[in-house]
Structures are given as C-alpha cells and as structure tokens.
Chain A
Amino acid sequence: MSQRIYLDWNATAPVLPEVREAMVEALGAVHGNASSIHREGQAARAVVERARRAVARAVGAPAQAVVLTAGATESNNQVLRQHVRQTPDPFIVCTAVEHPSVLETVRALEKEGVRVALWPVDVRGRLKEGWLGEQLDAGATLVSVMWANNEIGNIYDVAAIGEQVQAAGATFHVDGTQALGRIPVDFSSSHIDYMTLSFHKMGGPKGIGAIVTREGLKVEALLTGGHQERGRRPGTENVPAAAGLEAAARALSTQLDAWREALGERRRLFIEALAGQIEKMELRGDTEHQLLNTINVAFEGVDGEDLLLAIDLEGISASSGSACTAGSLEPSHVVLAMGFDEASARRSVRLSFGPHTPTDDLERAAGIIAAVVARLRAMGANPPV
C-alpha cells in the first residue's frame, strides 16, 4: 500500500508546516508564563498577543474582541451558558444541525429549565424559511447558527440571519469553525454578537480556540481561578498553541483566495471521478451552497460503516456521523435531522479534503472507493456465506 489518503479534514486537518515550525520554536524558546512580570513572562505574553491580533485580522474584528480559549467546544459552552446566566427569561434557538458542542449544551440547558427550540432543516439541510421570525416574535433571546456545517458542508447565510436577529434585539451566536480557510469570514459586517472558533480544521493547532465578541458585550468566564484573558478565561496560557494559532491565522489572511481556487478544482475533479465510476451515488446537502472541501455522499445499498472500514484498510481516511465512547459509529444527527431514516442516514459518508490534498490522491481515492463500493454491493446482493 502506498501513501495514505487523508479525506477527513472536517474532523481535523494536517498541521500546516508554518504552524508546526512556530510551535516547535515556541516550545524551545518561550518557556515563560504569560502572566509573569519578568522577561520570560513578557516573551510569552508577546506570543499570545500576536496570536490575538492575527486571529482578529483574519476574521475582520478588532484585537480586543478576541478571547482565547482551549477550543471551539469550550467557546460554545461559554457563550451559551453565560447567556443563560445573564438573561432573565432565556429562550435559545439553534439549528437542528449544529455541532454537538452547541446542540448538547443547549439540551443540557433545556433540562435545567431553559426554553429551547431547534430550527428544522429540509432534506438538503436548508434552514426552514419563515421559522426564525416566529421564534423571534415568540421571544427568542439567543440564536445560534453555524457558519458552515461540519458534516454536510452547508453554508448558512449568517449575515442575513444576523440582520434579522439584530433587528429583533436578540443575541446572535455563530460557530465559525468549519468556515475558516474555506470561505471568507468577516465578523464585523455579519451582525454577529459572538463568534466561536478553532483553527485546527484548516491546519492550525488543536487545543486552542477563540470567542470573538462584538464591542460592548461582556464575556463571562466559565471557569474560576485566574485573571488571564482579562478575567474572561482563567488558566495558564497555552503559549506554543498560541504561536501555532498565529501562524495559522496569518496563513488564512494571505492564502484564502488561493485555497478556495485549489478546493474548487479538487471538488470538480473528485466528484467527476466518483460519478464517472459509481452508479447510484447521491450527493447530500445543499450542493449549491456547500463548502468546496466537503462531499457528503451515499452509495445505494452500501452501509457507511462498512465502506469506511473497508476504505481505511485500502488507505483512505474518511468519516461519518460521530463515534461513541467505545469507537463504533452512530448515524449522523445532521443527516437524521434532514429527514432520512436511520438506515439511509447510515449510508452517508463524509469525504473532506484540503487545498493541499494532491489531486492524484483524489483520483486514486475515487478508484478505490469505486472498487470497494462494487465489492460491497456484490456481497450485499449475493452473500458468499
């Protein structure tokens, strides 16, 4: 077996070379605690502040708007839970296809008595029209919409939604994690109150993320025990990760256009290669408004888990749904929310790549997937034992 082909960028991406270099450099050269007053502390502080400025620049926000956290999951928890603490009669609305870090937090809050409504989607994962207005009229206090979906790649029109939410006087939260590095993300022009981020889906480090906040809004710490990030996120700063974050954010600022072009070319090529070799293939999601790097596909008669295991053994990494504690797969809650039954949802497979995925790899992957699909279909039709 030759080199493996990594098609699971939406889970996490290979680390960009400049990110790795920055992190290794910081691990060696900067050992201080960013809160210390001495020179080592100052050096560490400088790394953290450079990261903050780079993130702010990359997403079109002022530097003081950026709070660094340990990742998007933490950021989402912090935004949602502080809203409940700060709001007299909270009513949270989020899409039915949010990432679990939003969806499960919202469900947990619902158990604590918070009013919650999930924004339904249609069979292509598009948000139901007219629905949000009703909720805002009914007193929704926070609306949470992901900029782009991790499983089906749908891009949601956050600027338009933001305008509506703002007009109604509610708080607008956007999880921008999957959008970074794939589409332009401009915080300031999108009527967003809180945007949560991590950069590891585009080659940044894991274990660091951010909350970007509109001017004048308060960010309350989720944890207690330190005054870091101006009291908004206690805990010793992760300086090497911050160094990597700066490098990732800088790469984003300078290379997004080139990446988008590369993704578009790869997407066309990959879909063509798959469709040319495999019959009865169904592309899922809103293919008109979809991340260029994400393909959610179902092959008739082929269980997704069977396919994923079989292609893994042939050298291709992809995914579907989410794995349970023990590591077996559950059907995607996103595809279920789109109205597919469980067996059909289990057929969904997510192939996600990056601008640096070699085009040869995608052509080779299409050939391997076609062969495995043919094998599984042959066995399904005519079990050998």
Chain B
Amino acid sequence: MSQTITDMQSCSVDQRPPSLEDAEDIKLAVQDRVVVAMSGGVDSSVTAGILAGEGYDAVGIAMRLYSTPQESYTKSCCSPDDLFDARTVADSLSIPFYVANYEDAFRERVIEYFVSEYRRGRTPNPCVACNDHLKFDILLQRSLALGASYLATGHFARIDRSGEVPKLLRGVDRNKDQSYFLFGLPREALGRILFPLGGMTKDEVRDIARTMGLETAEKAESQEICFVGGGDYKAFVAKLLSEQERTPGRIMTSSGEVLGEHDGIHNFTVGQRRGLGLSYHEPLYVKAIRPEDGTVIVGGRDELAARGLVAERCNWLSFDRPNGPIECQVKIRYAGEPVPCLLTVGADPTTAFVEFEESQRAVTPGQAAVFYQGEEVLGGGWIEEPRS
C-alpha cells in the first residue's frame, strides 16, 4: 500500500458520486440522495450547485455550531448570517435545506479541546477536530439517517475510488488543498464522502458560482478560526480560562538565563516571535513551552530547528501498520508544503516517529503532522514533541 503514486492523471478520481452498487449495506438508501454540508460560503454553495445541477437529490444541511449575539456580525462561516446565506443558496437551487444544532457537541469536542490545548502550552487545530467529530461523524451519521448515500462537502481534496479501498488525495489547487485537515477521518467514512471541488481551482469554483448566479459567488474567504470573533484567539482563550487555569511562569533561554515573566502559557505558540515583550541582542522565538512549571523557553532562530518529531493519536488511511519505515513526505502545519521524511509507525500504530530529510523549524506540539506519498494522504497524527 505504500507505493508512490507517480502519475495522477491516470487515476480515475471521481467528481461525481459513484453508483449505489457499493452502498448495499445502507438499507432504505434513496437513490442518489446526497447531503451537502452548507456553511454559507462559496465553496459549499458550488458543491450543492454542482450536485443539484447533475440531478442528484441534494439536501443542504448547515451546522449551527455556536451562538453569536444578535447584534454582532462576524466574517467567518456558520454565523446566523451565513446560515441565512446558505438557506438563500439552497432556495435558489430548489433543494431542501435544514439547520442542525450541534452547539453542544461543538463546545465539547472543539472549543473545550481548543482551550485545553492552549492551557497545556500546545497549539491546537480546531478545524481538524471539527472535521473529525462534527462533519464526518455526527453530520455523516445524520446524512445516512436521512437516507442519503453520501455526504458532500466543499473541501479541496479528492477521493480516489479506482482501487479496492478509497484513497484520500490532495486537492488539485495547491493553494487551497485542505487534505491536511482531513487526516483524521475514519477510513470507512471515505466511502461515504464526496469532495466535488477537489479537482478544481478556487478561481474555477468562483466562476461556476457566478455562472450559476449564486448569491455567495463574491463572498470573502473565511480564514480565521470561525468561533473566535475578530480573530483574537488569545483573548478568546483568556476569557474562558479562570485564574486557577492559567499557568504563569518565567521566560528563559535554553541556557537558563531568565529574561522575564509572563501571566500564562496560553499566550504562547512555538515559533512565535512577536509579542514576547523582551529586548535582546538577537530576535528571539518561542522554542518550547513547559506546562509543568510554566516556563517558556526562547532562543535564536537556529534553535528552532528540529530533526524530527513524535506524533500521537495517529490515524492511518492507507494502511493498518506498515512493515517497516516508509519514505514519504510530512506536513507539520497547514501553510507550507510537505517535506521529505522517514516515517516509522510504532508498535502501537497510534504513535509515529518521524525523521526529516532536512531539519524543520518550529515543530509545534498540538499541530497535526500529516503524511503524504505524492498525492495520497497516508494518514497523520498530533505532534507531541520535536526531536532534535
């Protein structure tokens, strides 16, 4: 299973739902019914438009994940305004549309995780958590319960169904590729998911939106963390942490020179340079955070380099457990390209040991390490610690 995919063009990557022949285990499934997760953004709008246009029995569902005060307007997805946008698009496509209230699950599985990671001095990735626990778990179950054969989303990623088991592939538009956020999906879920936009570029998606006359065609991208209004996630975390839950401590160099104090490790991220409030003869970066005693260790740029990492809670999409080390590529943050590495899956396959071909800067605990072989997503895990 670990051979490199060399020629992507020869792969038949469906952009339409496969036939129901491979969905026999879903009793009472309605022929060609597909639930589309609609956020009110242009990507999911076009996803719905494509499926509806091809004659599928498309059903739009928007997830209500958190409440915002009535008078506030936010630019990110899933606010009440976005739900109304999604409804407008669904109406213009003449497809049924529902809002599912997942506030409780979102708070437990995403927001609490998000805050708790910062509290532990780690840097969380709430989009992965949302995909794992909300979109491709609760919403997928509900889609199947509604008699749908598939759940479609507007992610820029692809699913290759040409082989015996579906493979998760990177999106064609490298600037938008969202496969990094999808490593945690249960393998069985891949057979029930459609990513109609995976073969397109963002520009093409916008063109389709314009051609279809969708309300959301010119809508701005949401980049920030959706539930953090205004993008100030440190203020958001600080608000949710009680005095006892904050871990203040010292800021010191790796040689033990104390440079200052801080009022909580939740304010720091590995690799961070700005906002340290230190004056020093060279630019300083956060190198590590020790939640035990609240120490934030800083150092020069060179000190950020790591030769490898350990990842925990891994999920493998392409194999159960490989026989030996695998040459592949790893992506340690969403922004940035995968870099060559040697991946060794532990005796317990939820642990992975990674050696980079070339040292990498700012390996950040809490972020995802996602493994690729060319286009294919092998799987991934959560960064526990860098290895020097």
Contacts and interface: CB of A to CB of B under 8 A. Distances in A.
Interface of A: 305-306, 309-310, 312-314, 324-330, 371-372, 374-376, 378-379, 383-385
Nearest to A378: B27
B83 A376 contact: no
Contact of A375 (B28, B87, B99, B100): B28
Interface in B61-79: 62, 64, 70
Nearest to B83: A326
Interface in B122-172: 140-142, 144-147
A385 B140 contact: yes
Given A313-B33, A385-B188, A385-B189, A328 B145 contact: no
A384 B146 CA distance: 13
Contact of A385 (B33, B80, B141): B141
A325 B192 CA distance: 31
B61 to A, nearest CB: 8
Given A313-B33, A385-B186, A306 B101 contact: no
A327 B64 CA distance: 9
Contact of A327 (B99, B144, B146, B188): B99
Contacts of A328: 64, 98-101
Contacts of A324: 64, 101
B147 A327 contact: no
Given A328-B99, A385-B192, A375 B145 contact: yes
Nearest to B101: A328
A182 B101 CA distance: 34
Contacts of B302: none
9 contacts: A310-B147, A313-B147, A324-B101, A326-B83, A327-B99, A330-B101, A372-B147, A385-B140, A385-B189
B99 A379 contact: no
B59 A313 contact: yes
Contacts of B145: 306, 310, 375-376, 379
Given A324-B101, A328-B100, A385-B192, A313 B146 contact: yes
A248 B59 CA distance: 37
A375 B146 CA distance: 9
Interface string B1-40: 0000000000000000000000001111010010000000
Given A313-B33, A326-B83, A384 B100 contact: no
- Centre residue among A313, A314, A372, A374 by max chain B CB count within 10 A: A313
Contacts of B83: 326-327
A362 to B, nearest CB: 21
Nearest to B185: A385
B260 interface: no
Given A312-B96, A385-B141, A375 B189 contact: no
A364 B65 CA distance: 36
Interface string B190-213: 001000000000000000000000
Nearest to B103: A328
Contact of A326 (B28, B64, B189): B64
Given A384-B26, A385-B141, A385-B189, A329 B101 contact: yes
A306 B142 contact: yes
Given A327-B98, A327-B99, A371-B28, A385 B64 contact: no
Contacts of B146: 306, 309-310, 313
Contacts of A312: 96, 98
Nearest to A376: B145
A375 B27 contact: yes
Contacts of A375: 27-28, 145, 147
Contacts of B59: 313
A376 B142 CA distance: 9
Interface in B297-337: none
Contacts of B188: 385
Contacts of A310: 145-147
Query: Which A-B residue pairs are the 7 nearest by beta carbons?
Result: A328-B101, A327-B99, A328-B99, A375-B28, A326-B83, A326-B80, A328-B64
Contacts of B98: 309, 312, 327-328
Nearest to B70: A325
A325 to B, nearest CB: 6
Interface string B75-110: 000001001100100000000101111000000000
Nearest to B189: A385
A301 to B, nearest CB: 12
A328 B100 CA distance: 5
Given A310-B147, A326-B83, 12 more contacts: A305-B100, A309-B142, A310-B146, A312-B96, A314-B147, A326-B84, A327-B87, A328-B98, A375-B28, A376-B145, A385-B140, A385-B189
A313 B34 CA distance: 12
Nearest to A308: B98
Contacts of A379: 141, 144-145
Nearest to A375: B28
A374 B27 CA distance: 10
Nearest to A310: B146
Contacts of A305: 100-101
Interface string B361-385: 0000000000000000000000000
A376 B99 CA distance: 19
Contacts of A313: 30, 33, 59, 96, 146-147
Contacts of B144: 379, 384-385
Contacts of B101: 305, 324, 328-330
A371 B27 CA distance: 10
A71 B98 CA distance: 27
A326 B84 CA distance: 7
A242 B128 CA distance: 56
Contacts of A371: 28
